[in-house]
Amino acid sequence: MKMTRTLAAVCTACLLMPAAGVTAQASMPDTPQQSAAVAAVGLDDPAKKEIAMKIVSSAENSSLDWRAQFKYIEDIDDGRGYTGGIIGFCSGTHDMLELVREYTKRKPGNVLAKYLPALERVDGSDSHEGLDPNYTKDWKTAAKDKVFQDAQEFERDRVYFNPAVNRAKQDGLRTLGQFAYYDAIVMHGDGGDATSFSSIRKRALAKAKPPAQGGDETAYLNAFLDARVWAMKQEEAHSDTSRVDTAQRVFLKNKNFDLNTPLSWKVYGDSFSIK
């Protein structure tokens, strides 16, 4: 699949760090009934999903305004060709091709439809053949179209968000764990290689059991984040692991399993907060 853009944002470093005094906490449920109530509100709750989108955007775009990223597109020299849109769809990793196909299904004859043959040819490479010189300009034109925006959100959810959240819920993880899965699948995709999301999860399972198997949630999430850091270090473009170290790990240390606000963090030295 892909990894997301390390983008123009790749010039800064990654995710979150709670500011002094922020100690959002969530206690562990004491009964099966409480557990069920907690499980009912996950990352797919609209308010929590909005938080997730902002956190990812802060790491990838140095901005909480994730909706402003529909128009984003550039080649960040990571071997994946063009990276664009709200989740870093890449011309070299198939998901950009699937996005333009979805857009064209919804709106035949759109400004990007003519690039489908070229996107099919460059899939799996970093080539721009058949895309230059006007593809990026036409992408930005398409980004003004609500149909294209909806297609981006649909593909984000179909390929990344829904599979990650569903898998995390099956593992008995609350909102923070669901976010950890989502952030991992966004960056690493879910292919068959050693650094894919499924392989990261497999490494974690070798070290600890998730709550659904009777394990401790904190221990399992630490194992998952350890595996994630290992995967990131396998690729130069992702070798800065602050996305985990000063973000998800800090939320975990604070026992903020439900990603409750207020949240404050630093990304690449820039400060962000959600009240």
User: pLDDT (tens digit, 9 = 90+) per residue, 162-178?
Assistant: 999 999 999 999 999 99
Please work out, in degrees rounded to the nearest 5, the angle formed at the alpha carbon of residue 167 by the alpha carbons of 164 and 172: 120
* Mean per-residue pLDDT over the chain, rounded: 86
Extents of the domains making up the chain? 8-274
| pLDDT tens-digit readout, 108-144 | 999 999 999 999 999 999 999 999 999 999 999 999 9
Q: Looking at residue 40, what is its pLDDT?
A: 54
% of the chain with per-residue pLDDT over 90: 72
Q: How confident is the model at residue 264 (pLDDT cuts 50, 70, 90)?
A: confident
Q: Looking at residue 239, what is its pLDDT?
A: 78
Whole-prediction pTM: 0.84
Taking residues 8-36, report their average pLDDT: 36
Q: Looking at residue 145, what is its pLDDT?
A: 98
Taking residues 43-48, report their average pLDDT: 97
Q: How confident is the model at residue 214 (pLDDT cuts 50, 70, 90)?
A: very high
Superfamily of domain 8-274: Chitosanase, subunit A, domain 1 (1.20.141.10)
Q: Looking at residue 195, what is its pLDDT?
A: 95
Judged against a pLDDT cut of 50, whether residue 28 lies above it is answered with no
Q: Looking at residue 62, what is its pLDDT?
A: 87
- Catalytically active residues are 60, 78
Q: Looking at residue 250, what is its pLDDT?
A: 87
Please work out, in degrees rounded to the nearest 5, the angle formed at the alpha carbon of residue 225 by the alpha carbons of 205 and 58: 140
